[in-house]
Amino acid sequence: MSSTTGDAVLPTTSTPSIAVIETAGKKARKRLTSPWASLIAVVLAVLWTAPTFGLLITSFRPRADIDGTGWWHFFTKPTFTLDNYREALSSGSGGLGTNFINSIIITIPAVLIPISLAALAAYAFAWIEFKGRNLLFVCVFALQIVPIQVTLIPLLSLYVDAGLNGTFWTIWLSHTMFGLPLAIFLLHNFMKEIPRELIEAARMDGAGHVQIFFKVLMPLLTPALAAFGIFQFLWVWNDLLVALTFAGGTPELAPLTVSLANLSGTQGNAWHLLSAGAFISIAIPMVVFLSLQRFFVRGLLAGGLKG
């Protein structure tokens, strides 16, 4: 099982059979996009989307209908209202606008900082030889298991002692700490996949680690960085616990999630508001996901090898 990793990637790299048979290539491409494949993809997409679609419909139905009949009744007896969105948007003590800005202020550094630090650390773990490297790496990624909940009291005590409580710093630092293990794990494994020859060649040319990091690795890692960027963004954007614990729910610092969590009111039963709220909060992550898609590009590595 373990021995396949090594020989699978590299040997195939060195077996580009030079025979140029255009038609074979076209055939293979055709088979990959057979109608069966499309059918399976569509079925999966429908299965995955149907529950969310139900919520989307629900968010436009009047409250009495939500409680009384299933959302699919929308198609036979359509009842449509924007009240849920209107009510959800007008709630929140400081207005959702302030929360929205806070979310942005929180998210940007809390995504940039861990990605940069993790990229540096992952590089060190992947391409610099030093004693205890693997042990340290295993320790770092195993730390993913520590539940955020056990860190709350010790960390908050430290922040209070440092006088940092009630500032954005606590949230940025905490998200960085919690995001690093996964980021390093993810990026390390992507970096490891970069052919050794590439790094060796650069070193032969006299490049130092810093140059290799920026000139050779960074361009190749774009998809991986984009992938992690999306997730770190999501966690931070959807986080409630870290923001509440370290910064508190005061309007000056509270992100969108705090207001949305309070949406259902003190009394609780507000499926109609919560369903609208869920779609308000999902808008930005979807935009980020779609816009980061253009970094998912193919062929960078191949180009690098040729050059």
Give, as ranges, the residues between 161 and 180 that touch another protein (CB under 8 A). Answer: 165, 168-169, 172-174, 176-178, 180
Residues 6+ apart with CB under 8 A from 59: 84, 85, 272, 275, 276, 278, 279
Q: Which of residues 102-121 bind another protein (CB under 8 A)?
A: 102, 105, 108-109, 112-113, 116-118, 120-121
Phi-psi category of residue 236: left, alpha or beta, with phi > 0 → left and psi -120 to 50 → alpha: alpha
Position among 84, 96, 115, 181 found at the interface with another protein (CB under 8 A): 181
Q: Which of residues 185-214 bind another protein (CB under 8 A)?
A: 185-186, 189-190, 192-193, 206-211
Nearest of 111, 84, 105, 115 to residue 256 by alpha carbon: 105
Position among 35, 130, 163, 204 found at the interface with another protein (CB under 8 A): 130
Does position 218 bind another protein by CB under 8 A? no
Distance CA 207, CA 200 (A): 10
Closest contact distance (angstroms) between CB of 130 and another protein is 5
Closest contact distance (angstroms) between CB of 171 and another protein is 11
Residues 6+ apart with CB under 8 A from 124: 130, 133
- Judged by CB, which is closer to another protein: 78, or 265? 265
Q: Any idea which residue has 């499926």 for tokens?
A: 271
Position among 33, 79, 82, 86 found at the interface with another protein (CB under 8 A): 33
Secondary structure (DSSP) of 91-147: -STTHHHHHHHHHHHHHHHHHHHHHHHHHHHHHHHHH---TTHHHHHHHHHHGGGS-
- Give Dmax (Cα) for the chain: 72
Burial degree of 251 (CB within 10 A; 0-12, 13-18, 19+): middle
Position among 146, 200, 215, 218 found at the interface with another protein (CB under 8 A): 146
Does position 52 bind another protein by CB under 8 A? yes
**Residue 238 in contact with residue 175, Cβ under 8 Å?**
no
- Judged by CB, which is closer to another protein: 216, or 220? 220
**Residue 170 in contact with residue 107, Cβ under 8 Å?**
no
Q: Which of residues 230-289 bind another protein (CB under 8 A)?
A: 230-231, 234, 238, 240, 244-245, 248-250, 252, 257-258, 260-269, 271, 274-275, 277-278, 281-282, 285-286, 289
Closest contact distance (angstroms) between CB of 284 and another protein is 9
Does position 60 bind another protein by CB under 8 A? no
Closest contact distance (angstroms) between CB of 201 and another protein is 15
Closest contact distance (angstroms) between CB of 233 and another protein is 10
Distance CA 56, CA 2 (A): 45
Does position 25 bind another protein by CB under 8 A? yes
Closest contact distance (angstroms) between CB of 211 and another protein is 7
Closest contact distance (angstroms) between CB of 136 and another protein is 8
Q: Which of residues 72-91 bind another protein (CB under 8 A)?
A: 72-73, 91
Position among 84, 85, 92, 255 found at the interface with another protein (CB under 8 A): 92
Distances (CA, A) of 4 to 1, 8, 111, 302: 6, 6, 35, 22
Size of the site for another protein (CB under 8 A): 169
Closest contact distance (angstroms) between CB of 74 and another protein is 12
- CA dihedral sign, ordered 283, 287, 288, 293: positive
**Residue 215 in contact with residue 202, Cβ under 8 Å?**
yes
